[in-house]
Amino acid sequence: MPNEEVLVDARGHRCPVPTLRLRRALEAAGRGVRVRLLADDPMARIDVPHFAAEIGAVILACDERDGGISFLVAKP
């Protein structure tokens, strides 16, 4: 379903768990589905953009939220 959003809450987990959960969600997502990753590990600010670039995913939004960071990622 286009514009559907999947939430992946990886708060409380450290590297590499947030990125691994994002990878799994993107692999399972259908075409047009966006994945929102919530993370509070400071390394996610570095790891997630590198991972997205590696697989050709697009980070549509990145903002501070609830003491952590929220990434909205579109599947390549």
Q: Is residue 4 part of a domain?
A: yes
What is the reported pLDDT for 2?
Answer: 57
What is the reported pLDDT for 17?
Answer: 97
Reduced 3-state DSSP string for the chain: CCCCEEEEECCCCCCCHHHHHHHHHHHHCCCCCEEEEEECCCCHHHHHHHHHHHHCCEEEEEEEECCEEEEEEECC
Q: Is residue 54 part of a domain?
A: yes
Q: What is the domain range of residue 52? A: 1-15+22-34+41-61
Number of folded domains that form the chain: 1
> What are the 10-residue block averages of pLDDT along the chain, 76 residues in total?
84 96 95 93 96 96 91 92
